[in-house]
Amino acid sequence: MIIDALPPGIILILGALLIPATSGIVRTIVVTGLPLIVAWLVWQVPDGAAITAPFLDYQLTIVRGEAVGRVFATVFALMSFAGGVFALRQATVLEITAAYVYAGSAIGVAMAGDLITVFVFWEIMAVGSTLVIWAAGTEASYRASMRYAAMHLFGGVVLMVGVIGYVQTTGSVDFVLMTPHDFATWMILIGFLINAGAPPFSAWLPDAYPEASPSGAVFLSAFTTKTAVYVLIQGFAGTEFLIYVGLYMACYGIIYALLENDMRRILAYSIINQVGFMICGIGIGTEMALNGATAHAFTHIVYKALLLMSAGSVLYMTNKRKCTDLGGLFQSMPLTCICGIIGAMAISSFPLTSGFISKSMISQAAADQHLTFAWFMLMAASAGVFLHAGIKFPWFVFFQKDSGLRPPDPPGNMRFSLILFAFLCIALGVYPDPLYAILPYAVDYVPYTVDHVVKMLQLLLFSGLAFFIMLPSMKRTLTISLDIDWFYRKLGTTIAIRLVNNCSQVRDAVENLARGRLNALLAVVSRHHGPESLMARSHTASSMVMWVAVLLAVYLLIYFI
Amino acid sequence: MNRTEMHWLRRPKTIRKLWHWGLGLLAATALLDLVVHGHAYFGVDGTFGFYSWYGLLTCVAMVVIAKVLGIFLKQGDDYYDN
């Protein structure tokens, strides 16, 4: 047993449990201070196994110091801070507590050195995130949280099967690079991919996240999918199959976001699109690609949270979430609008924003490896990001028609988080060196070349032109788009209801038949043996005397014959 | 709402101007290919105006694909509530 550091994830989880016991200024200090302390602790963990403990016959590495994990743990802590401030005055205590437990377990995964520890934190994450959705307190959020929990518990079981199989075959619990070559490793990979929102299990994300509270969705956008990206980098970097999974996700996110009317669901689909870029990078697996996936996860958490804070502010101030009900809000919510646009520019990888310095590493890696198909798809998807999230979100929420709504910008704590993350999006875009310095491999990449800036501007501006050319055919409708979840939300329930109905009909028929036969039998019995029937009739004494006399007469007659 | 109260960004004149400036900017960025010659990895990506037409066409294609899929996938937003 070694203890060389304090466990940052566990400290955040335990600290979160203090939040309900506090109030007023103390709660403000706990909520804002905890993530900062945890971020500091992450950097106090030395390289290699820092905390180990024996469990059954195995040696668990509960905390491991390692480059990729540190980047993820740092951004998770940063995210908890901004999310905590954003939620501080408006969210319920349950939500903030659950969100911090959720963040702590995500950090736990990012610093875990063995598969059992990964699995334990993985499951705490599922519980924490379910509670965050549930904390919104509406009927819709309750139902969504139950569907979400079912999907993640299923994913957890798949992962557990894989881990047990892996430990059986290799005899080791260490979380190291694997290749999916047997049942156990495939199960682990599938368990990870379910949390990443990979097909066919993507629908849980746009189903559940938009049902959370305005601040709940901000927390949710950050941890589950990015923890999955982290474990895929550690466990399955270079697995070629992931390139195609990633490309599919990048395109899926765009197509569904284009069809969507709910502003936060548009952003939820774009999470899948962005995670697609990262998973594609993991599949490519070169140092450049893995640096790109790691850096992109970092910048993505920041700008996606910013976008969801912007959407959350609109939802909080107007209580409306559909593009058809919104529009023209730039007039009364200038700060929310500008921060939303900065987030939208960053997700689209505009030069001078954080997306530009991270995503381009992934496409550069595809170009370096001469992955023609992947590169052309990534370029198309990059253009599509601007289309579905970069313009569509700000356009339909803050511009387009005038909805007549004139809400002011949100309260101070929400504005603080918006400004902080908007600043970070630009700061990382202008000065990427601090981020590049903590990436797992030495960065041999210069984002700002004239050539790269010009090409990216051409790609993005012309996709912007496409948006405005196609605008008439993108008129928002009061619709949702069916997804794979149709099979369990509609087909499955319809079959179950039919089955129940049909079974009851069969049972009724059998029962009726049996009842009919039984009644017939009873009728026969009661005809002969029932009251007043032949066999049960009572007789008077005189008639009995007469019958005795008759019998005697018959007897005498027979005797004489 | 009458015209004097209208936010400047919503006035038809501003919108017309924005279109003109926007199209001018697009032309200028596309023409930058005349002076900027980058490294081409796949051949076609080094040709004149590749990023411009590729961005435009793929986006139009994605909107069209979404539109077609929408025919099959779109349902009223109370679909699952019923």
CB A284 within 8 A of CB A243: yes
Enumerate the residues of chain B whose CB falls inside 8 A of the CB of residue A497: none
Q: Note the ipTM here.
A: 0.90
CB B74 within 8 A of CB A259: yes
pLDDT (average), residues A540-555: 91
Q: Does B68 touch chain A (CB under 8 A)?
A: no
Greatest distance between any 2 Cα atoms in chain B:
60
Residues 6+ apart with CB under 8 A from A137: A92, A213
Residue A65's DSSP bridge partners are A47, A48
Mean pLDDT of chain A: 94
Residue A486 reports pLDDT greater than 70:
yes
Give A140-197 pLDDT, tens digit per residue: 999 999 999 999 999 999 999 999 999 999 999 999 999 999 999 999 999 999 999 9
pLDDT (average), residues A47-52: 94
Q: Residue B80: its pLDDT value, please?
A: 86
Give B1-50 pLDDT, tens digit per residue: 444 567 777 788 888 898 999 999 999 998 888 888 878 888 888 888 89
pLDDT (average), residues B53-71: 93
Interface A-B, measured as beta-carbon pairs within 8 A, has a size of 143
CB pair distance less than 8 Å for A459 and B42: no
Q: Residue B1: its pLDDT value, please?
A: 45
Give A255-302 pLDDT, tens digit per residue: 999 999 999 999 999 999 999 999 999 999 999 999 999 999 999 999
pLDDT (average), residues A493-512: 93
- Confidence at A202, pLDDT banded by 50, 70, 90: very high
Residue A95 reports pLDDT greater than 80:
yes
pLDDT (average), residues A375-387: 94
Which of A455, A485, A488, A494 is the mutation pick for testing B, counting most B CBs within 10 A? A455
CB A85 within 8 A of CB A305: no
Distance between alpha carbon A261 and the CA centroid of its chain, in Å?
19
Please name the amino acid found at residue A216: G
- Confidence at A403, pLDDT banded by 50, 70, 90: confident
pLDDT (average), residues A207-231: 95
Query: Distance (Å, rounded) from C-alpha A102 to C-alpha A83?
Result: 12
CB pair distance less than 8 Å for B51 and A489: no
pLDDT (average), residues A308-335: 93
Give A238-266 pLDDT, tens digit per residue: 999 999 999 999 999 999 999 999 999 99
Q: Which of A280, A281, A235, A234 is nearest to A72 (CA)?
A: A234
- Could you tell me where the beta strands, DSSP code E, fall in A122-247? none
Give A116-146 pLDDT, tens digit per residue: 999 999 999 999 999 999 999 999 999 999 9
- Confidence at A61, pLDDT banded by 50, 70, 90: very high
Q: Residue B37: its pLDDT value, please?
A: 80
Q: Residue B5: its pLDDT value, please?
A: 66
pLDDT (average), residues A23-49: 95
For the purposes of burial, counting CB atoms within 10 Å of the CB of A64, is it exposed (0-12), middle (13-18) or buried (19 or more)? buried
Q: Does B12 touch chain A (CB under 8 A)?
A: no
